[in-house]
Amino acid sequence: MKFIDFFAGIGGFRKGLELAGHKCVGFIEWDKYARKSYQAIYDTKGEFTATDVKDVCGVDLPKADIWTFGSPCTDISIAGKQKGLVNGKQSSMFFEVIRCLQERTKNKKTLPKYLFMENVKALLSSNGGRDFGRVLIEMDKVGYDVEWSVINSSDVVPQNRERVYIIGHLRAASTRKVFPITRQGKRITQRPKVLGNYSDKRHQSNIVYSNEGISPTLTATDYKRPVKVMVKQVENIKDTSSFGGNPQTGRVYDPKGLSPTLNTMQGGGREPKIIVKPVLTPDRINKRQNGRRFKNAEEPEFTLTAQDKHGVLIEKENNIAIRKLTPKECWRLQGFSDEDFEKAKSAGVSNSQLYKQAGNAVTVPVIKEIGLKL
């Protein structure tokens, strides 16, 4: 099928859908550096394109079966200021897509069979759940029935990145259900493997998880009731008493976990670090979302975000060294090929922008799996 790539970024939607056999007929992206990478990676000659969705008239868009959009999550994400879908300047771009659909309806133009939207998991709870309700209502008003699923990128790449994927089905098109997504007979979404509970008190802190599965979701208050994951936490490299007693600032974990969520990592050396254990924001003492975390080699990374740095600690004899994840490694964590990365880099895109673009992208293999079901 043909699709239009709204809020295109570096083309995570495009790459995944093309791998699933679909064809892009147009893209919209306002960031000049993201456009430079996008046009270096893909053959966009002859395609519809625009920089600002607010300047786009719905009737001018080419006919397409799918509209894809991951409207900016800045105002919804836990890492952002959480102004919400309506009040946030960036996340409210969702309504521009709805406007374009309304304009096509008014002018009796063909509507896409599918709306394919991705956003942070926090959309489900933002503004007391009213923001997600608004998404459903707006899609319903323009003629779409909606299904959704929360999928963790850790099922297809070594990065813990939970995102909600939303499919709008045009009522007149008789499209088929997409979720749940399955791979090799199993649901794509894995669950942490529980080994047992060593206490009568029913609380997450008393559950013991296998170190051969994925870790349960960690929260900002885990330090009060640490999750037990076999011998997951093996060391703490900081004197936590000087940081208000939060042991999370220096935790070191055993292998076989996930990478931190990549963010845009802009300025100040906030790129990912590795110890042979991925570490989230190693030089940042106070961070609202996750704080400092460490994991071993061969573990999946934390979720990539737009502002956190990630890395791996490398043990050398009795010393611990930290190095940044490279921009290429961050692109790999989102499922892009090295060829894609080299094309963007050769176009003159700086490392800081390459980091940012990785953090803002959607995970390509997840999009491919969904694209195969459309």
pLDDT at 248 over 50: no
Question: What is the reported pTM?
Answer: 0.70
Query: What mean pLDDT is predicted for residues 162-166?
Result: 94
pLDDT at 141 over 70: yes
Instruction: Please report the DSSP string for 104-173 in residue order.
Output: HHHTTPPPPSEEEEEEEGGGGTGGGGHHHHHHHHHHHHTTEEEEEEEEEGGGTSSB--EEEEEEEEEGGG
Q: Mind listing the pLDDT tens digit for each residue in 76-128?
A: 544 445 555 555 455 578 899 999 999 999 999 999 999 999 998 888 888 88
Over pLDDT 70: what percentage of the chain?
A: 58
Distance between CA atoms of residues 194 and 70, nearest Å: 33
Distance between CA atoms of residues 154 and 276, nearest Å: 18
Residue 154's pLDDT is 85
Residue 339's pLDDT is 97
Residue 123's pLDDT is 86
164 forms bridges with which residues in the sheet? 119, 150
- Greater model confidence, 289 or 311: 311
Residue 128's pLDDT is 82
Q: Does 73 qualify as catalytic in the annotation?
A: yes
Look up residue 288 and give its two tokens. Answer: 């609202």
Domain boundaries, the chain: 2-157+161-186, 214-333
Residue 370's pLDDT is 96
Eight-state DSSP code of residue 264: -
Over pLDDT 90: what percentage of the chain?
A: 45
Residue 266's pLDDT is 64
pLDDT at 327 over 70: yes
Mean of all residue pLDDT scores within the chain: 75
Eight-state DSSP code of residue 228: B
Residue 73's pLDDT is 52
Query: What mean pLDDT is predicted for residues 37-45?
Result: 97
Eight-state DSSP code of residue 83: -
User: Contact 372/17 with Cβ under 8 angstroms?
Assistant: no
Eight-state DSSP code of residue 301: B
Cα angle, residue 2 at apex, residues 14 and 108 outer, rounded to 5°: 125
The confidence band for 36, taking pLDDT boundaries of 50, 70 and 90, is very high
Tell me the CA distances in angstroms from 346 to 37, 155, 175, 184, 245, one per residue in order: 9, 31, 41, 37, 46
Nearest residue to 100 (alpha-carbon basis) of 7, 230, 31: 7
Q: Of the listed 24, 73, 100, 330, which one is catalytic?
A: 73
Query: What mean pLDDT is predicted for residues 48-62?
Result: 96
pLDDT at 264 over 80: no
| Architecture of the 2-157+161-186 domain | 3-Layer(aba) Sandwich (3.40)
- Greater model confidence, 214 or 72: 72
The confidence band for 256, taking pLDDT boundaries of 50, 70 and 90, is very low
The dihedral through the CA atoms of 178, 170, 122, 33 has a sign that is positive
Cα angle, residue 308 at apex, residues 265 and 273 outer, rounded to 5°: 90
pLDDT at 45 over 70: yes
Residue 240's pLDDT is 46
Q: Would you give the distance in Å from CA 349 to the centre of its chain?
A: 21
Look up residue 163 and give its two tokens. Answer: 């995102």
pLDDT at 307 over 90: no
Q: Mind listing the pLDDT tens digit for each residue in 191-244?
A: 545 444 444 444 444 444 444 554 444 443 433 443 333 333 434 444 544 444
Residue 262 CB neighbours (<10 A): 36
Residue 209's pLDDT is 44
Instruction: Please report the DSSP string for 322-343 in residue order.
Output: EEEPPHHHHHHHTT--HHHHHH
Residue 74's pLDDT is 59
Q: Which residues contact 331 (CB under 8 A, 6 or more apart)?
A: 338, 340, 341, 354, 357, 358
Look up residue 33 and give its two tokens. Answer: 């550096």
pLDDT at 359 over 60: yes
Query: What mean pLDDT is predicted for residues 338-364?
Result: 94
Q: Would you give the distance in Å from CA 143 to the centre of its chain?
A: 27
167: left (phi over 0), alpha (psi -120 to 50) or beta: beta
Eight-state DSSP code of residue 298: T
Tell me the CA distances in angstroms from 175 to 42, 147, 171, 233, one per residue in order: 29, 12, 8, 47
Query: What mean pLDDT is predicted for residues 253-280?
Result: 52
Kind and range of the H or E run holding 207: strand 207-209
From 2-11, 31-40, 131-140, the region with the lowest mean pLDDT: 131-140
Tell me the CA distances in angstroms from 185 to 10, 19, 138, 365, one per residue in order: 31, 20, 34, 17
Residue 211's pLDDT is 45
The confidence band for 255, taking pLDDT boundaries of 50, 70 and 90, is very low
